[in-house]
C-alpha cells in the first residue's frame, strides 16, 4: 500500500522539513518489508480567497482533484478520532490487508479542512483537540507513520 501525505501550504527549507524527511525516510525503509511504500508529501498552495469558507472550499476542490482513486482517505482534524499509536498502526495494517492501494493523509491549511471534505474521508484523525500549525502536524504524522511501521514489524513498543 502506498502512503501519501497531501498538505495545504508549503513548508520552507529548515529543520522542520528535515525532520519530516528523516521520519519518512525511516518509515520507507522499515515499511518496505511490510508492503508499505511511497511515504511522499504533495504540497498544495493555500487559497487566496477573501473568506475562510471560500478558502476552505477552494482547497477542498484542489484536494479532491489529487486524492481521487482507490484509497483510504484520512483527514487530520482537531475534532476527529483520537487513538493511540498501536491502534493507529493496526488501522494502517488493516487497510493494507483489506487491499487499499493507497492511504492518503490530508493536512489542511491555516483555516483547517472544509467540513464537507472531512465527512468524505474514511477516517477523521485528531492528534489532539489543540490546534497545531500544519508544519508540526506534518512532523507528528511522519513520526507516527514511522512508529506504525516499527509496531507492524513486531518491534517492541515501549507503551505496551
Confidence at residue 159, expressed as pLDDT on a 0 to 100 scale: 62
Confidence at residue 113, expressed as pLDDT on a 0 to 100 scale: 95
Q: What is the mean pLDDT of residues 26-45?
A: 96
Q: What is the pLDDT of residues 89-110, one digit of tens each?
A: 999 999 999 999 999 999 999 8
Q: What is the mean pLDDT of residues 78-93?
A: 95
Range 154-158, long-range pairs (CB < 8 A, 24+ positions): 157/85, 157/86
Q: Who's near 84: CB < 8 A, 6+ residues apart? A: 159
Instruction: Specify the DSSP class assigned to residue 159.
Output: T
Q: Please count the other Cβ atoms lying within 10 Å of the Cβ belonging to residue 50.
A: 8
Confidence at residue 153, expressed as pLDDT on a 0 to 100 scale: 94
Q: What is the pLDDT of residues 37-63, one digit of tens each?
A: 999 999 999 999 999 999 999 999 999
- pTM beyond 0.75: the answer is yes
Rounded (5°) CA angle 118-61-89: 40
Q: Which three cell numbers stand for residue 126?
A: 485528531
Confidence at residue 155, expressed as pLDDT on a 0 to 100 scale: 82
- Evaluate the CA torsion angle 133, 77, 137, 75 in order and state its sign: negative
Given the C-alpha cell 487513538, which residue does it identify?
83
* Radius of gyration for the chain, computed over Cα atoms and rounded to the nearest angstrom: 15
Q: Who's near 156: CB < 8 A, 6+ residues apart? A: none
Do 110 and 136 touch, CB atoms closer than 8 A? no
Amino acid at each position: 500500500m502506498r502512503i501519501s501525505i497531501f498538505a495545504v501550504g508549503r513548508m520552507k527549507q529548515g529543520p522542520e522539513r528535515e525532520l519530516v524527511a528523516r521520519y519518512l525516510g525511516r518509515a520507507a525503509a522499515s515499511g518496505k518489508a511490510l508492503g508499505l511504500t511511497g511515504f511522499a508529501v504533495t504540497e498544495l498552495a493555500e487559497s487566496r480567497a477573501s473568506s475562510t469558507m471560500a478558502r476552505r472550499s477552494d482547497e477542498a476542490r484542489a484536494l479532491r482533484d489529487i486524492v481521487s482513486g482507490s484509497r483510504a482517505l484520512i483527514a487530520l482534524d482537531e475534532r476527529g478520532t483520537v487513538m493511540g499509536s498501536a491502534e493507529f498502526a493496526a488501522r494502517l495494517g488493516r487497510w493494507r490487508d483489506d487491499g487499499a492501494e493507497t492511504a492518503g493523509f490530508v493536512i489542511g491549511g491555516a483555516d483547517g479542512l472544509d467540513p464537507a471534505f472531512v465527512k468524505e474521508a474514511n477516517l477523521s484523525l485528531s492528534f489532539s483537540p489543540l490546534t497545531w500549525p500544519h508544519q508540526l502536524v506534518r512532523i507528528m504524522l511522519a513520526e507516527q507513520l514511522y512508529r506504525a511501521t516499527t509496531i507492524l514489524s513486531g518491534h517492541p513498543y515501549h507503551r505496551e
